[in-house]
Amino acid sequence: MESLGILLTGGPFDSQRWHTAYELGRTALDRGHEVTYFQYLDGTFVPVQTQSQPECGPGSPYDPLPADAFRTLLDRGATVICCGLCVDIRGIDRETAYPDGVTVGLLGDLAELLGSADRVISL
């Protein structure tokens, strides 16, 4: 089984990088690959489970919300690691902000991902 690492630095509402990362991971999981995300900088906001968007609904750019999309990836076996320093400096509550399965880690986790994944994509 091949492994894909995805470094996501963009936030959930500043660009479509999160959606590209989601689609890449979803497709890799569909093909039986292992997928690990490292959420860095504003990427740590992507899996925050308290997201809401008044204009969210079928056909909108936020259907599903980024957090909901990433929760489906977790349910399918993807690994999601958020940079602890990035989480802390942004005031994200480590204990309550993320769904079960999201790990708050360190840059050492990114180094391990870079050294072990067959391919790494940075978005």
Total domains, the chain: 1
Taking the chain (123 residues) in runs of 10, the rounded mean pLDDT of each run is 96 90 97 98 95 68 82 97 98 95 97 97 97
Closest CA to 78 of 19, 7, 8, 5: 5
Whether residue 48 is contained in a domain is answered as yes
The DSSP string of 33-68 is -EEEEEE-GGGGGTT-TT---TT-STTSTTSS-HHH
Whether residue 60 is contained in a domain is answered as yes
Rounded Cα gap, residues 82 and 102, in angstroms: 7
Whether residue 50 is contained in a domain is answered as yes
Half-sphere exposure of 50 (CA within 13 A, CB side): 6
pTM for this predicted structure: 0.92
Whether residue 99 is contained in a domain is answered as yes
Note down the domain range covering 3.
1-7+44-123
CATH number at residue 104: 3.40.1260.10
